[in-house]
Amino acid sequence: RLQKTLLWIFILASIATVLSLDNGLMRTPPMGWMAWERYRCDIDCVSDPKNCISEALFIDMADRLAEDGWRELGYDHIMIDDCWTAMLRDEEGRLQPDPLRFPGGMLKLAQYVHDRGLKLGIYADIGKFTCMGYPGTTLDKIQIDAQTFANWTIDYLKFDGCYSSTDEQEKGYPLMSKALNATGRPIGYSCSWPAYQGGLPPKINYTFLGEICNAWRNYDDIQDSWDSVLGIVDWFFNNQDHLQPAAGPGRWNDPDMLIIGNFGLSLDQSRSQMALWAIMAAPLIMSNDLRTISSSSRNILQNKVLIGISQDPLGFQGRRLLKEKSQIEIFWRPLSHAASALVFFSRRSDMPYRYQTSLARLNYTTGSYKVLDVFTGETASFPSHTTEFTVSINPSGVVMWYVCPTSRWMHHEKEEGRRWKNRISSPKHHRLNTGSRMFL
């Protein structure tokens, strides 16, 4: 059955590659930092200057990405969300940043970000207003706003859908895609269109969406709670037959931001979100305070093995294989070079659960395998796919494995070792997290 599943996925991936937006961007899921979940629409820079939506906040986070080892791991986007604009357009009809909170202007901020080897993302909305009531990008303003973003050397646009009709969305999202491409500047394009239309076929044509967008929000905004994470996980995997074929290099489903390092998740729940987002081939966009983040949260977010799984060049979105009566769920994602990722996830709330199975029962083909525990760095060898094993999974936690045929293990160590060596060889490189042992 696994062989048939792999064949089906390869066929879908070939189709996805042909139909992807032809701007050469986001061949792997984007990574970075976004303001919204952690900072919302805090515009009180008088009494809360460290946390308000301002150029100072984005400069601080750009510094942290550049200086604390994030950039070298792939976290290279700084994303502005809602509430950045003045309440009125300028005399030429262009969006403009709030002059008190962004006194240097967007072009200067973009230059600061670019000088640190990072990319700058910005936010707009197809409706009359943004979700928080700032000027929207109505159909007649799409071209001027796209050109304005290009003039500011913006690298990424999140295009929301508040205060817009179905008709405006059907016209506006494709028009913005064309307008961005017409500027001649490579600008990654994230559409919120599916989230406003229920996220599923037939209302959403994911084949068409992949032709105009690099990524898209499918479902509700994430909140800083475990219940919110579970709700998103349930929706995505309950609908995986519709959503999995839509994803691939240059076109990604987006279950929303990583909330690791905030207030709502335990350590085990933080590992669970990170693992399941990697299985989904989701964008890894943090929304937290990088200035004060704990070492335990940093170790999860900077786990090189897990990031390598997330950024696997094949770009296949994973699936849920099993839901057991014991409240253990198993997720699987195929990776390059015959490898795969497995996640054993516990929905229990009582105590660690000892789950026994074999790779054969999970549809792995005949052979011997080596596995690496993504969070502990421990390795194990299975002389046969029928070898029984037991994993102990904490309540609301995960055990995540990288699984590789034994015959390919040394090949992976050499190839991925070179890849990471090249990735961190910049003279600006800072010490990387070593909380999880490298396997590659």
Structure token pair of residue 345: 């996830």
Please, what is the end-to-end C-alpha distance for the chain in angstroms? Answer: 28
DSSP class of 386: T
Does 160 qualify as catalytic in the annotation? yes
**CA nearest to 317, candidates 331, 303, 337:** 331
Out of 63, 220, 221, 268, pick the active-site residue.
Answer: 221
Burial code of 246-275, b = ≥16 C-beta within 10 A, e = fewer? Answer: bbbbbbbbbbbbbbbbbebbeebbbbbbbb
Does 234 qualify as catalytic in the annotation? no
**CA nearest to 269, candidates 158, 348, 176, 379:** 348
Out of 68, 76, 125, 160, pick the active-site residue.
Answer: 160
For 282-374, strand residue ranges (E) read: 284-286, 319-323, 328-334, 340-346, 353-358, 369-373
State the burial class of residue 200 (Cβ atoms within 10 Å of its Cβ: 0-12, 13-18, 19+).
middle
Whether the Cβ atoms of residue 396 and residue 272 lie closer than 8 Å to each other: yes
Rounded to an integer, what is the distance from CA 132 to the centroid of its chain? 23
d(CA 141, CA 173): 12
Query: Judging by DSSP bridges, how do beta strands 340-346 and 328-334 pair with one another?
Result: antiparallel
Residues serving a catalytic function are 160, 221
